[in-house]
Each structure stands twice: as C-alpha cells, then as structure tokens.
Structure 1
Amino acid sequence: MKISILQVIHDTMVDGPGFRTSIYCAGCPNHCKGCHNPQSWDIHNGHEVDTEALLEEVLSDPFADVTFSGGDPMFQPEGFYELAKAIRAKSKKTIWCYTGFSFEDLVKNEAQRRLLTQLDVLVDGRFVEALKDPDLLFRGSSNQRLIDVQESLRQGKVVEAEMDI
C-alpha cells in the first residue's frame, strides 16, 4: 500500500515526547487559517511511498517513537493503518497522530476508527488561529486535545492523555 507523503523527519522533538520519526503526509481537507504547513493540503504535492519502505525507515532508528502528521493522516487512513499495524508488530514504539478531525467524528468512520485502534495518542481538532497558544504542549491552539486513544476506545468517551514531561 502507498501513502502520499511530503517528508520524513528523524529525531524531531516537537511532535510528541522524546525523539520521534515524524511522517508528514500530503492531503488535508481542513485548510485551517494560519496552518503552519499549507503546502500539505494538496495530496498531489506529496510523493507516493510504499508502507514497507516507510516501515523500514521507521525501524532504522531503534530509539525514536513515531508521529503521523501532515497534512492529515486521517485523509489516508487505510495506508496509515497498514503502516501502524506493521510498526506495532515489529516494535514497541509509541505512535502519535495529528488530525484536524475530532475523535468523536473519527470513531464514526470505519477506516478512521480502524487506524485509531493502532494509535497511542491522538492530537485532534482543527488549528484555530484565534486560539493559538505557543505555550501549549505539542499542539497549536487551545481547542486541540491530547487524547489517550486506547483508553478512550475502551471507555467510549474521550480520555485526555497524561503527560509527564
């Protein structure tokens, strides 16, 4: 399976705790005003990469966890599901995902919900320029939430992630 991506950044510390391999995908329907990555909106700005190649790249750094960002990974849920499932099968890396969609909407969509089953933390919600706060941990605006995905799926309601940083 292939995913349209813009780039992969190794050893970043801005997309979650610790060192991370961040996969920035192309394609986002949200078009948030003030987006820091508007070139990611058009899926055609990316290049297609096989999930196996991305898996090898992720596993090449044994110390870095993984973040899916964009664009919006939930715009390509099937490919990111396959990648996340393979990462889970071959490592103990945590997987974070940034999306402009709300958790409540994602669980209603079969493909997006399937991807949720493979994630540890979801940063959800559109970026809202009027709510921008540079002091927030791992998010751009105060409406966005850091969600413990597995606990939220178990309880059937949003459970915010606890950050010990």
Structure 2
Amino acid sequence: MKLRIAGIVTDSIVDGPGIRVAIFAQGCFHACPGCHNPHTHDANGGTEMDVEEIMAEIGRARYIQGVTFTGGEPFLQAKGFAELARRVKAADLHLVVYSGYTFEGLIEMGRKEPEIIQILSMADWLVDGPYKAEQRDLTLPFRGSRNQRILLSAQSLASGQAIPAIE
C-alpha cells in the first residue's frame, strides 16, 4: 500500500513525547493561515512511498520512543495510514496522530470511512483541531494554538467523548 509523503524526520523531539519518527502526510485542505507546513498542502506533491519503505525508515531510526503522523492531513489517506498504524503498533511504538479535524469531526467522518476509526483506535494520542494563528501559544507542548487538544485517542473513542492526555 502506498502513501503520499511530504517527508520523514527520524529524530523529532517536538512532535510528541521522546524521540520520534515524524511522518509528514502530503495533502491538506484546511489551509490554516500561518500553517507551519504549507508545502504539504498540495495533494499531488511529495513522494509516493510504500508502507514497507516507511517501516524500513522507522526501523533504521535509533533510540526512538514512538512515531507521529502529521502533515498535511493524515486522515485524507486514512486507508494507508491505518495500515501504517497497524505496523507501528505491532512494533510496540507509541503513536501520535495530528489532525486539523476535531475528534468529533473525525468520528462523524469515520461513519463513512472506517479506516478513520481504526486509526483513532490505535493512536495513543490525537492532537486535534486546526491551527489558529490568533490563538498561537509557543508555551504549549506539542501544539501551536490554544484550541488544539492532546487527547487520549483510543480512550476517547471508547468513551465517545474527548479525554485529555495533557491539559
């Protein structure tokens, strides 16, 4: 299975707890003013990579505690990222997923696209919501604006309501 990727960083310390491999999805329709990664917006940009190739990159990374799906918008490629999430969790790695959609919006979208729910069920954390420049706050861990939440993804999914991982 192939994914369109904007890039991979194998030693990120800003995209979740510990040292992580950050997978940047290519394609995003949110177009948040002030976006940190505008080069990821074009759905036709980036590079196609097979899930096996991405897992090989993760396997070569040293001293990592987890993997982060960011972007772009990973949920625009839900089928491929669900497969990648299965492999990441089989490797016993912590998984953080960033999305410009809210948890509640993803649940709604997941009614038509079950892979969205699959990703949420495997992710340890979901960082949700669009970046809002007027709410920018550089003191917040792992997010850019105050409206964004860090949620316990699987627990939130199981309970049907957003459960914070970090306030």
Name the counterpart of 1:157.
161
Number of residue pairs matched by the alignment: 162
Q: Deviations over 1:100-136 (max 9, x none)?
A: 0010111122231121111110100000010001111
Name the counterpart of 1:134.
138
The amino acid that maps onto 1:141 is S
- What is the distance in 1 between the residues matched to 2:88 and 2:63? 13
Structure 1 window deviating more from structure 2 (149-158 vs 123-132): it is 149-158
1:85 aligns with 2:89: no
1:146 aligns with 2:150: yes
The amino acid that maps onto 1:149 is S
Name the counterpart of 2:121.
117
For structure 1, which runs of at least 5 residues remain unmatched after alignment? none
The amino acid that maps onto 2:80 is G
Name the counterpart of 1:95.
95
RMSD, aligned α-carbons: 1.2
1:12 aligns with 2:12: yes
- What is the distance in 2 between the residues matched to 1:113 and 1:151? 12
TM-score normalised by structure 2 residue count:
0.93
Deviation, structure 1 residue 62: 5.2
- What is the distance in 2 between the residues matched to 1:77 and 1:63? 27
The amino acid that maps onto 1:101 is Y
- What is the distance in 1 between the residues matched to 2:43 and 2:140? 28
Deviation, structure 1 residue 60: 2.2
Name the counterpart of 2:52.
52
For structure 2, which runs of at least 5 residues remain unmatched after alignment? none
